[in-house]
Amino acid sequence: MAMEAMMSGLNSGVVLSLIAVLWTVVWQNLQHLQLQQFFARQLSRRARRLAAMVDPYLSVTIAEYEGGRMKRSDAYEEVKAYLSDASAHGVRHLRAESAKDADKLVLSMSDGEEVEDDFEGARVWWWAYSKQPPRSDGAAAWWSGGGAAAQEERHFYRLFFLEHQRSLVLDTYLPRVRQLGRAVMVKNRQRKLFTNISTHQWSDGGFMRSAWTHVVFEHPKTFATLAMDPAEKKRVMDDLDMFKGGRDYYARVGKAWKRGYLLYGPPGTGKSAMIAAMANYLDYDIYDIELTSVHSNTDLRKLFIETTSKSIIVIEDIDCSLDLTGAREKKKAAEEDGDKDKKDGGGPSKPGEKKDTSSKVTLSGLLNFIDGLWSACGGERIIVFTTNHVKKLDPALIRRGRMDKHIEMSYCGFEAFKFLAKTYLDVDSHPLFDAVGELLREVDMTPADVAENLTPKSLDDGPDSCLADLVKALEEAKKASGAGEDEEDQQYEP
């Protein structure tokens, strides 16, 4: 027994020391290999820089922002996308962003990294680098809140190539890179929902961060789940199709490639849902402008310039965002308000109706933004306004050419109800349908309320209980509206 124990102890000892020896050998080789790669890389870099001094190399620099940082450069994005494929292999330090596929990452070179690329026998090098923006006083004041680390850098790619390859690189290679970059962008594209950051947070004048911040757009609403009159829905979808494929048409008739939609109707009738459905249908990004945090017409223009094509620019509740009812309407309204105030003794306006006085965006600024000279830059943009009170808006704002298509989103009719019943409960018919149809003719209920009643609240809920709930809710609404009418009748009885 003692002998056996000794032998097994000896065996495991031998195995352990063998593993240790093996590990040391492998580790040394690994280090050797890494060092070798490191030195090779450094050498090639130094050699090329040295050679560049006698000028056999030319370079092209592509900056992230062009036009005084007004607009993000398409070329930069395309090169970045192109290099994301190449750099995954040759580069040691990578930057990662989340990709369309939840498990994957989109990789790009970190600053200071270099990759080689071969094209038709020519070898070129891409170098990624960044610079700190110069500080202006205003910027310094702003940045002091976030500390120096928060200061955004300006990113660049620089391409090195031999002088005799000049025409090959400039005329053939670079256009090819942009083309392939665009293809990679389409492959990795995630739709985004942007919102503007307050203009207080932009640095003044000099270099500043983007006016937009974004999240991935993941709204599930599609036209297949949007309840509205089927003929109107088809008209909207056809209109969107015509717009999307209308590049040549717009060029031929000399119009900027953009289209305005005005969605109006009471709260809960699906205006925001319609915007999400449009974005999903067209595969466009959404830029949701919060007008109250835009402080001037110039800022509004900057915001617009930074939007990309294939996007929907949204201003929700346009009547509440700003005082945009126009001079003529305003004058009339002021007179009316004066009368009214005299009658009911004045008092504060409702919180929802409070106007933001800090914003200097004017009606004319907004009109120019939608249909002025600047509105044509970029192309393929849809502008959507939503409002609960269409009559409050200045006619100039919603004339055709600015808001080309007006879509009324209204209370739930029987057709919309049947659509919602199919979507929410998967039923085409039910004995309670007639009662619901009858009540919907008498009571105004929004699709949002109908949808809420049709949503099962527990595992035991099914079509019977949900439809019964809806009938009950409609009856209560009818009773309430009846009582309201009676009260009004009594109030106005002579």
Ligand X SMILES: Nc1ncnc2c1ncn2[C@@H]1O[C@H](COP(=O)(O)OP(=O)(O)OP(=O)(O)O)[C@@H](O)[C@H]1O
Residues that bind Mg ion (CB under 5 A): 271-272
Minimum Å distance from CB 448 to ligand X? Answer: 3
Q: Which of 109, 124, 193, 226 binds ligand X (CB under 6 A)?
A: 226
Q: Which two tokens stand for residue 33?
A: 């290999």
Tell me: does residue 193 bind ligand X (CB under 6 A).
no
∠ Cα 375 299 316 (to 5°): 70
Residue number with CB closer to Mg ion (272 or 325)? 272
Window of 135-143, 173-181, 206-214, 270-278 that interacts with ligand X by CB under 6 A: 270-278
User: Pick from 165, 269, 359, 453: which binds ligand X (CB under 6 A)?
Assistant: 269
* Residues 401-420 close enough to bind ligand X by CB under 6 A: 409
Asked if 273 touches ligand X (CB under 6 A), the answer is yes
State how far Cα 343 lies from the chain centre: 47
Q: 192: which residues sit within 8 A by CB, 6+ positions away?
A: 214, 215, 216, 217, 285, 286
C-beta closer to Mg ion: residue 177 or 320: 320
Q: Coil, strand, or helix at residue 262?
A: strand
- Interface with ligand X (CB under 6 A), residue from 270, 326, 365, 378: 270
Q: Which amino acid is at 2?
A: A
What DSSP string runs through 328-359? HHHHHHHHHHHHHHHHHT--PPPGGG---TT-
CB of 473 to Mg ion, least distance (A): 21
Helical residues (DSSP H) of 345-462, grouped into ranges: 363-371, 395-398, 414-425, 433-442, 447-453
The reply to whether 88 sits near ligand X by the rule CB under 6 A is no
- Closest to Mg ion by CB, 69 or 233: 233
The site that binds ligand X (CB under 6 A) totals a number of residues, namely: 16
> Does position 228 bind ligand X by CB under 6 A?
yes
**Closest distance of CB 419 from ligand X, Å:** 7
268 binds, among Mg ion, ligand X, none (CB under 5 to 8 A by kind): ligand X
* Range 348-377, binding ligand X (CB under 6 A): none
The least distance separating Mg ion from the CB of residue 446, rounded to whole angstroms, comes to 11
- 267's contact among ligand X, Mg ion, none, with CB below 5 to 8 A by partner kind, is ligand X
Residue 479: burial class (beta carbons within 10 Å; 0-12, 13-18, 19+)? exposed
Nearest distance from residue 27's CB to ligand X, in Å?
A: 59
Distance from C-alpha of 139 to C-alpha of 8, rounded to nearest angstrom: 73
Question: Of residues 139, 384, 436, 451, which one binds ligand X by CB under 6 A?
Answer: 451
DSSP H helix total and E strand total for the chain: 17, 15
Q: Is 267 in the site for ligand X (CB under 6 A)?
A: yes
**Kind and range of the H or E element at 114?**
strand 114-119
Q: H or E segment at 285?
A: strand 285-288
Rule CB under 6 A: which residues touch ligand X? Answer: 221, 226-228, 267-273, 388, 409, 447-448, 451
